[in-house]
Chains A and B, each alone.
Chain A
Amino acid sequence: MSTASVPLPAWINYGLIPLLNLILAFLFSGLVVWAIGESPFEALQLLLIGALGRGEGIGFTLFYTTSFIFTGLSVAVAIHAGLFNIGSEGQAYLGGLGAALVALAMDHYVPWYVTMPFAVIGAALFGAACAAIPAWLQAKRGSHIVITTIMFNFIVSSLMNYMLVRLLIVPGKMAPETRTFLPGGQLPKLDWLIAMFGGKIGAAPLNFSFLIALIMCFLVWVLIWRTKLGYEMRTLGISPTAASYAGIRYSRIVMITMLISGGLAGMMALNPVMGASARLQIEFVGGAGFVGIAVSLMGRNHPAGIILSALLFGILYQGGAELSFDMPGITRDMIVVIQGMVILFAGALEYMLRPSIVRLYQQLTGK
């Protein structure tokens, strides 16, 4: 048994190791901050206060968290079936079109809670549609899903450019965006949630889609661990030969999994499009699809872990924005470096610490 397969107690696996990874990431980020002549402690303090200090900051943090939960779930569902979906970015982008079309069509006539279910379905359908062709190519033609989903990110980007600049733009306006949705096409702010903890939401865009994201976490958990479909996905993900022995059809599972994955990514659009800006804007996804990969990895592809790691990235996003505002020496790019460190240590270097921890654990427990 190499150290990678030595069983460790859950509190080490899911608690200690991620925590140490995180501390390492902050340590190295601190070094970088120190190297450019700022105080790392002050920076950390500013970051945390910016993200969690006031009701408005928390509102922003949870707003980002919401988007990352959706894209994290999207990546995780695919990974359970052994598929690496790099296309959540594009799927979310196209999902925005679905949500916007529903909102534009209904906001004149009905209140938001009538529009919402249709918008959820619209966003999911458009996201799923974006994943459908790569899925089909993988299932039937064996074209690698990583390559095709990346290609679709570009295709969707061009398509959305065209749609917004040529078709959806408000005549006579310069900005490539749709008209602003009426309240019937907007998701309400969760000011009461922040108020419950005695804060004020202020300008923060935290909205109803946060609750949708939490519901999706539960549904994904049920799907993966409590349904026959999830069982088939996991079998295929771990052992394709065992799946074929068990009569689990490869192309069927690949298709269904990718449609669900794309649908989840598509729903991410509800948050910025209907929750925050109340219109469809160009490039609104802003990299959340790619962050989803790190979120899923760090959350061990489990919904509970995804909530936690999405929250962490939410803190980094919001706190980082405040930090670059307060500390002139630290630019937006520096924040990206810090986020990169977290991704590096939490995701990619997960196996760096493990062997030594295993050895230490064996020594301490006398095994």
Chain B
Amino acid sequence: MSLDSPKEPAIELVGIDKKFGTVHANKNINLTVAKGSIHGIIGENGAGKSTLMSILYGFYHADHGEIRISGKPVTIRDSQAAIAAGIGMVHQHFMLVENFTVLENVMLGAEGGQLLAKGVASARKELKRLEDDYGLEVDPDAVIEELPVGSQQRVEILKALYRGADILILDEPTGVLTPPEADHLFKVLRVLRDQGKTIILITHKLREIMAITDTVSVMRRGEMVATRKTAETTVEELAELMVGRRVLLRVEKGAANPGAVLMSVRNLTVKDSRGVTMVDDVSFDVRAGEIVGIAGVAGNGQSELLEAIAGIRKPSSGEILIHGKSVAGVDPAGLRDLGLAHIPEDRHHMGLVLKFEEYENSVLGYHRDAKYGRGPLLDLEAMRKDAEEKIGKYDIRPPNPRLRTANFSGGNQQKIVVAREIERDPKMLIIGQPTRGVDIGAIEFIHKRIIEMRDAGKAVLLVSVELDEIRSLSDRILVMFAGKIVGEKSGEAGEQTLGLMMAGIAA
């Protein structure tokens, strides 16, 4: 990979190789990242991106290969060694102590001495300086759990900088952010780069790659297949490099053919665990053969709405009707029997039991079925065969139903959930963030499945914070803001219009 870069490389990975059992996650990877640049890494789910970064950060050890930082070979045994080498990592799932303040979190593990007070004063000064230098505003005394996700992520970045990181790794940092938060993050990253920091950014969103990176590398099935200067490439080229074929970046769908109302929500009000009203007097219908999309900035009540319909969260007033009958008091199992399938927003906490083997998760919620064993017993053979079929059909990699679910890459975990719910052939499907962390090839695949469901006469309710996704799939779009439905638009509504409604500005 000899890009004639003027600057000296911050990181060189030479011949990195890593196997997990039979899975060859990284095959002889060579990568050079120039100092003071933003370097994007893209690739399909399971391509080996996270593994490569985990090796750089000392979570895993490469079977072969060498890591050089600023030209010097280093051995990175664990994350302390990575920090000592000036590498910081912002994890997708934040590693913050929820009930500590920002300052306490930043200091944690770097208190400097046995007496706290002295350390606190100097840490506060240092934190202030970092915030000013890089435009990373957060209140040092705010408690983490009360901060929005975007700010929590800034704390993660501050933590890394506080420990003297010159190299910052971000693995899918925007998956959980709202668009304005993502914009803010990018502003911060640019400032960091301009001050000489080196940044590695993993993302599935090619738009982000084009917007912010200087160089981009593409991985496929464990190999590094290409590196391009961002200015000299296009979204189409990158997509093709990633998947190895041309990808439809926008799904094709025919006109909807809506039938009878299958699912209705009437004056629904839902409170969260603290008693705050999250869904406020919402009413709508979903008909057979249509996709109703709910657009909105994350945290405006969509999650609570989905959970209420799925029977997980009890509404405080109002009704949910299925086939015209109220389902008050029916639990998720009963709703499944009525033909409702649910792809939850949060696959790690709801959709999957990460410690289970894959085949155990592929029956979660349907495990009482006679298909998976008569009477009280489970038929493991039947479960595994069933899982294998889904693995084949949804191209879940690696194709091993006995692998622990936690060891699948993020996108493949999502496919496990999607396969389970869609293959039940439900009458109604409610979906939260179906493609979070999923690669473009798989997005195309999942979107096609959702449209097939619609064309087969199912009622589909879709919640997503990705406006593109809502617009390309929905036949009708409801915009949610502060718990209320503030308007309804057709599937063809413009981004601008929807954006304003989502911000609560126009109706």
* Chain A residues proximal to chain B, CB less than 8 Å: 1-3, 226-232, 234-235, 238-239, 241-242, 244-249, 359, 362, 366-367
- When distances are taken between beta carbons in the complex, the residues of chain A under 8 Å from B333 are 246-248
Q: Is the CB of B353 within 8 A of A242?
A: yes
Q: Is the CB of B350 within 8 A of A241?
A: yes
- When distances are taken between beta carbons in the complex, the residues of chain B under 8 Å from A232 are 367
What sequence of 0s and 1s flags, for each residue 300-325 of chain B, a beta carbon within 8 Å of any chain A beta carbon? Answer: 00000000001110000000000000
Which residue of A has the minimal Cβ distance to B336?
A247
Q: Is the CB of B377 within 8 A of A226?
A: yes
Q: B349's contact among A2, A226, A230, A242, by CB below 8 Å, is which? A: A242
Q: Is the CB of B59 within 8 A of A246?
A: no
Which residue of B has the minimal Cβ distance to A366?
B63
Q: A245's contact among B63, B360, B365, B378, by CB below 8 Å, is which? A: B365
Q: Is the CB of B61 within 8 A of A244?
A: no
Q: A1's contact among B54, B332, B342, by CB below 8 Å, is which? A: B54
Q: A246's contact among B54, B77, B334, B364, by CB below 8 Å, is which? A: B364
With the chains together, A248 CA to B77 CA distance in Å?
42
With the chains together, A78 CA to B199 CA distance in Å?
47
Sorted nearest first, the 6 A-B pairs with minimum C-beta distance are A247-B333, A247-B332, A246-B365, A245-B350, A1-B59, A241-B349
- When distances are taken between beta carbons in the complex, the residues of chain A under 8 Å from B364 are 235, 242, 245-246
Q: Is the CB of A238 within 8 A of B355?
A: yes
Q: Is the CB of B332 within 8 A of A246?
A: yes
Interface size class of B (residues with CB under 8 A): 35 or more
With the chains together, A246 CA to B363 CA distance in Å?
10
Q: Is the CB of A362 within 8 A of B61?
A: yes
What sequence of 0s and 1s flags, for each residue 37-79 of chain B, a beta carbon within 8 Å of any chain A beta carbon? Answer: 0000000000000000010000111010000000000000110
Q: Is the CB of B331 within 8 A of A247?
A: yes
Q: Is the CB of B377 within 8 A of A228?
A: yes
**B62 → chain A closest CB, angstroms:** 8
**A78 → chain B closest CB, angstroms:** 18
B142 at interface by CB-CB < 8 Å: no
Q: Is the CB of A238 within 8 A of B353?
A: yes
With the chains together, A302 CA to B335 CA distance in Å?
34
- When distances are taken between beta carbons in the complex, the residues of chain B under 8 Å from A227 are 376-378
Please judge, given known A-B contacts A245-B350, A247-B333, whether A228 and B378 are in contact too, CB under 8 Å.
yes
With the chains together, A359 CA to B360 CA distance in Å?
31
- Helix, strand, loop or mixed for chain B's interface? loop
Which residue of A has the minimal Cβ distance to B313?
A244
With the chains together, A231 CA to B334 CA distance in Å?
18
- When distances are taken between beta carbons in the complex, the residues of chain B under 8 Å from A244 are 312, 332, 350
Which residue of A has the minimal Cβ distance to B64?
A366
Please judge, given known A-B contacts A227-B376, A245-B365, whether A367 and B312 are in contact too, CB under 8 Å.
no
- When distances are taken between beta carbons in the complex, the residues of chain B under 8 Å from A246 are 332-333, 364-365, 367
With the chains together, A226 CA to B61 CA distance in Å?
36
B15 at interface by CB-CB < 8 Å: no
Please judge, given known A-B contacts A235-B353, A366-B63, A367-B63, whether A245 and B376 are in contact too, CB under 8 Å.
no
With the chains together, A242 CA to B363 CA distance in Å?
12
**A238 → chain B closest CB, angstroms:** 5
**B287 → chain A closest CB, angstroms:** 26
Q: B351's contact among A229, A242, A367, by CB below 8 Å, is which? A: A242
Q: Is the CB of A247 within 8 A of B378?
A: no
Q: Is the CB of A367 within 8 A of B377?
A: no
Residues 95-144 of B at the A interface (beta carbon under 8 Å)? none
Q: B353's contact among A226, A228, A230, A239, by CB below 8 Å, is which? A: A239
Q: Is the CB of B332 within 8 A of A228?
A: no
Q: A247's contact among B334, B346, B380, by CB below 8 Å, is which? A: B334
With the chains together, A230 CA to B353 CA distance in Å?
14
Q: Is the CB of B365 within 8 A of A247?
A: yes
With the chains together, A241 CA to B311 CA distance in Å?
13
Q: List 13 A-B contacts (CB under 8 A).
A: A227-B376, A227-B377, A228-B373, A234-B353, A238-B355, A238-B356, A241-B349, A242-B352, A242-B353, A244-B312, A244-B332, A249-B331, A362-B61
- When distances are taken between beta carbons in the complex, the residues of chain B under 8 Å from A231 are 360, 367, 378
Which residue of A has the minimal Cβ distance to B62?
A367
**B417 → chain A closest CB, angstroms:** 10
- When distances are taken between beta carbons in the complex, the residues of chain B under 8 Å from A226 are 377-378, 380
With the chains together, A232 CA to B78 CA distance in Å?
37
B344 at interface by CB-CB < 8 Å: yes
Q: Which of A1, A234, A242 has the most CB of B within 10 A?
A: A242
Please judge, given known A-B contacts A1-B59, A238-B355, whether A229 and B349 are in contact too, CB under 8 Å.
no
A-B contacts besides A226-B378, A226-B380, A246-B333, 8 pairs, CB < 8 Å? A2-B59, A227-B376, A228-B372, A234-B353, A238-B355, A247-B335, A247-B365, A359-B77
B368 at interface by CB-CB < 8 Å: yes
With the chains together, A207 CA to B333 CA distance in Å?
46
- When distances are taken between beta carbons in the complex, the residues of chain A under 8 Å from B336 are 247
Q: Is the CB of A245 within 8 A of B367?
A: no
With the chains together, A246 CA to B342 CA distance in Å?
10
With the chains together, A139 CA to B372 CA distance in Å?
28
With the chains together, A229 CA to B312 CA distance in Å?
20
Q: Which of A3, A226, A244, A247 has the most CB of B within 10 A?
A: A247
Q: Is the CB of B312 within 8 A of A228?
A: no
Q: Is the CB of A228 within 8 A of B367?
A: yes
Which residue of A has the minimal Cβ distance to B380?
A226
With the chains together, A232 CA to B368 CA distance in Å?
10
- When distances are taken between beta carbons in the complex, the residues of chain A under 8 Å from B360 are 231
With the chains together, A228 CA to B383 CA distance in Å?
12
- When distances are taken between beta carbons in the complex, the residues of chain A under 8 Å from B372 are 228
With the chains together, A1 CA to B352 CA distance in Å?
20
Please judge, given known A-B contacts A244-B312, A245-B312, whether A228 and B368 are in contact too, CB under 8 Å.
yes
With the chains together, A241 CA to B367 CA distance in Å?
16
With the chains together, A247 CA to B333 CA distance in Å?
4
